[in-house]
Amino acid sequence: MKAHAVAEVTDADFEEEVLAERGRPVLVKFTADWCGPCRQLAPVLSALAAEEASRLKVVQIDVDRNPATLVRYGVLSTPTLLVFRDGEPVQQMVGARAKRRLLQELEGVLAATAGASG
């Protein structure tokens, strides 16, 4: 049942797992083990990954173990959520939030995905 778990990506596979994805956006959570708000956001993202799997890929990257990606995208705090479409960052959100708010913030990206696939 791990199909909907939030996958862990690294500096080494970020390009393959995130930037090379076509057809659906990728939500990347920049996280750290010591980050309380990151832990609060974890079940929200797991639910989102399960419910929106056809329209959104959800992954996370540990900022302490993957500094190159952190620096590349100018991430200054955790949790930071970056949404990529066809290899380009298109939306950024900083801090934990409830699922409803997150879905509202992602509405434009998800609507564009639904329109593109139809």
Whether 72 is in a domain gets the answer yes
Whether 102 is in a domain gets the answer yes
Domain count, the chain: 1
Of 26, 27, 35, 102, the active-site residue reads: 35
92 has catalytic annotation = no
Whether 94 is in a domain gets the answer yes
When pLDDT is cut at 50, 70 and 90, the band that residue 1 belongs to is very low
Whether 44 is in a domain gets the answer yes
Secondary structure of the chain as H, E, C letters:
CHHHCCEEECCCCHHHHHHCCCCCCEEEEEECCCCHHHHHHHHHHHHHHHHCCCCCEEEEEECCCCHHHHHHCCCCCCCEEEEEECCEEEEEEECCCCHHHHHHHHHHHHHHHHHHHC
When pLDDT is cut at 50, 70 and 90, the band that residue 107 belongs to is very high
Kindly state the average pLDDT of the residues 13-19: 98
Whether 118 is in a domain gets the answer no
Predicted confidence (pLDDT) per residue in 75-95, tens digit: 999 999 999 999 999 999 999
> What is the span of the domain harbouring residue 85?
2-109
Predicted confidence (pLDDT) per residue in 31-57, tens digit: 999 999 999 999 999 999 999 999 999
Query: For position 53, which CATH number holds?
Result: 3.40.30.10
38 has catalytic annotation = yes
